[in-house]
Amino acid sequence: MKIKMAAIVLLAGFISLNANAGFEQFNDVDGAIGVWDSAGTGYLSTITPFGLADVRSITTNNLTFELLPNINLYGDGSDPYWANGANGAKVLEGLTLWAMAPGTDHELTADIDYVQFDFNVDAYSLDRAYSMVAFVKVLDSIGETYSELVIDSVPITQLGAFQLSINPTAVMAGQLLQVGWYLRGPNVSPANSNAYGSATITVTGLFALSAAQ
């Protein structure tokens, strides 16, 4: 765990550092589906808005997620663009995330210089065909390149407690901050979806902080 020498204070009038306080600074949990060719090398499109059930399965407090291989785009199996045998004909990248988005009440500001993301992997049984990565990053949304200005990420392959953090700089104010996971692998037939496992994750902390000088 990183320790800062300066005193840590919460933004937005929070008076205590508890497991849920930082979530109030972020928009609601969100996400999308990225579509790649069957080799996973050529990006095809992004499907939004969020709402595809297999990207997430959450508890009522929005802190526990079961991330599943995606079956939504397999359809009835008659369209070869999506369906081709037991596995789908495309690689899907399902994003589940929170964001501090430009132009909203929750925006990355110049005084935020530390973002911390803590979570536990409670269960993991994903097939090797799938990769899962946790991340916290700032993207260049002002320049519309969406390149990563700063990122901390980790592949998830086992149970355990994880912590990620980044240090945004003042020049990143107004950019897009995203925190969450992606699950990437073939879309599958609903008839075979149980064969590919899942991952269950509980978030224990998400904070955007400012160091008092």
pLDDT, tens only, 75-124: 889 999 999 887 889 999 988 889 998 988 888 999 999 999 999 999 99
Task: Give the sign of the dihedral formed by CA 182, CA 205, CA 12, CA 213.
Answer: negative
Structural domains of the chain sorted by starting position, each given as residue range(s) with its CATH number in brackets:
21-212 (2.60.120)
Q: What average pLDDT does this structure show over 171-194?
A: 92
pLDDT at 194 over 50: yes
Other CB atoms within a 10 A radius of the CB of residue 181 amount to 24
pLDDT at 210 over 60: yes
- Digit-coded pLDDT (tens) for 32-69: 889 999 988 999 998 865 556 666 556 666 788 889 88
Cα dist from 140 to 46, 106, 143, 155, 171, whole Å = 18, 17, 6, 23, 11
Scanning the structure block, which residue is given the tokens 């700032």?
A: 138
| pLDDT at res. 192 | 85
| pLDDT at res. 12 | 31
Amino acid in position 87: N
Contacts of 62 (CB under 8 A, 6+ apart): 23, 28, 29
